[in-house]
């Protein structure tokens, strides 16, 4: 049959890989959006008090951990309360409206993987949509290709958004800082009173290694 001939020629391999990438992207979306991003639990306070002082030696010793005014837990270093999730989140980066979840210590690496897979899917889909377009200056051509043209424009816009998100997050990760720390540096006590501009930065290679591994 035609299907068997296409399989023998390897013509079904690329569509199969594309479908698997889309499926992987969907699974990653649900995984990142449904998992615990690193919520601070009240029973963890005692352990935080013992281990917090030796983590970052550049942080001035007179900066004490403060108790959250919303959920009343003692916030670890780099944690922030999210009013949408109603929890304090460890190594808080931002609250993602697309995921309806915070991006924090536990799901941030998977969030980067999700963006990477999503970018590959969009680039591949954009290539397929572009290859199906042949331009003619006629009303009949526009009527037959309007949906393909709209699809390509939407894919192009989403690709730019995802690419900018991925590049900005990789830059912040390479500096060992978060979106919240980058945007609110002047309002965060442990950064405002630190002798270093970024006391968490340990070099690009070590920053990336510690984040992903």
Structure tokens, 36 = 């615990």
Q: Is the pLDDT of residue 26 over 70?
A: yes
Q: What percent of the chain has pLDDT over 70?
A: 79
In three-state secondary structure terms, 88 is strand
Model pTM above 0.75:
yes
* Cα dist from 182 to 103, 109, 140, 169, 176, whole Å: 15, 18, 51, 11, 10
Q: Is the pLDDT of residue 51 over 50?
A: no
Q: Is the pLDDT of residue 30 over 60?
A: yes
Is the distance from CB of 129 to CB of 148 less than 8 angstroms? yes
Region for residue 126 given its phi and psi (left: phi exceeds 0; alpha: psi -120 to 50; beta: otherwise): alpha
| Alpha-carbon torsion, ordered 129, 131, 137, 138, to 10 deg | -60
Domain spans of the chain, in order of start? 2-39+105-212
pLDDT tens figures, 169-213:
999 999 999 999 999 988 888 888 777 888 999 999 999 999 998
Let me know if 96 is a catalytic residue: yes
Distance CA 107, CA 111 (A): 6
Q: Which of 96, 102, 175, 213 is catalytic?
A: 96
């Amino acid at each position: 049959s035609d299907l068997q001939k296409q399989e023998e020629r390897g013509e079904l391999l690329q569509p199969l890989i594309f479908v698997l990438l889309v499926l992987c992207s969907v699974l990653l979306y649900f995984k990142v959006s449904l998992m615990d991003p690193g919520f601070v639990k009240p029973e963890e306070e005692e352990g935080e008090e013992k281990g917090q002082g030796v983590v970052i030696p550049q942080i001035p010793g007179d900066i004490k951990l403060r108790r959250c005014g919303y959920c009343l837990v003692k916030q670890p270093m780099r944690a922030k309360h999210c009013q949408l999730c109603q929890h304090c989140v460890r190594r808080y980066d931002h609250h993602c409206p697309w995921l309806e979840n915070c991006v924090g210590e536990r799901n941030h690496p998977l969030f980067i993987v999700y963006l990477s897979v999503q970018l590959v899917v969009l680039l591949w889909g954009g290539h397929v949509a572009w290859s199906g377009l042949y331009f003619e200056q006629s009303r009949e051509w526009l009527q037959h290709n309007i949906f393909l043209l709209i699809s390509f424009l939407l894919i192009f816009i989403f690709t730019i958004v995802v690419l900018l998100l991925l590049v900005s997050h990789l830059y912040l990760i390479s500096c060992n800082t978060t979106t919240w720390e980058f945007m609110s540096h002047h309002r965060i006590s442990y950064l405002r009173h630190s002798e270093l501009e970024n006391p968490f930065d340990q070099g690009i290679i070590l920053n990336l290694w510690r984040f992903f591994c």
